[in-house]
Amino acid sequence: MNALITFLVLYTIGFMPVKSASDTELIQTIQTSLRKGNAGQLSARFDKTLELIIDTEKVDFPSVQSTHAELILRSFFRKHPPQNFQFVYRGASNRLRYSTGTYTTEGQTFAVYVLMRQSSNQEYVINALHFRKGRF
């Protein structure tokens, strides 16, 4: 019986996504950038193009260049300076990592969705970023 339990635990662990140091670093960068409103630091981890949605700014780009996305985020952070950012959920599937969080600014709360994909050089980059007014 103990052997069966040990086997099941090891079998389950074998299929869980492994987080590398770069995954942890990326999550830290995202959290710090959103807490400080630092578009430059955040955009350094963008893919070449990404999906960017900010509903209060009427921004809905299925594919925007990372440099343009950085400028849009700078404007958003100026209009809505952060008071706090907190991750609510993080998950993984194959070569994807995804997170949801709550971005708080004076008088408003935004639900944030971040999708990260593993690039050809095995590092994760931000492939989608959504800010939607309200909570999840």
Per-residue pLDDT of the chain (136 residues; tens, 9 = 90+): 544 444 444 444 444 444 454 778 999 999 999 999 999 999 999 999 999 999 988 999 999 999 999 999 999 999 999 999 999 999 999 999 999 999 999 999 999 999 999 988 889 999 999 999 987 6
Determine the Cα–Cα distance for residues 98 and 70; give it in Å rounded to an integer: 20
Residues 101 and 24: beta-carbon distance below 8 Å: no
Spatial strand order in the sheet of 82-93:
59-65, 46-54, 124-133, 108-118, 96-105, 82-93
Q: What is the DSSP letter of 80?
A: S
Model-wide pTM > 0.85: no
Instruction: Read off the tokens for 6.
Output: 């040990």
Q: Which CATH number fits domain 19-133: 3.10.129.10, 3.40.50.2300, 3.10.450.50, 3.30.70.360?
A: 3.10.450.50
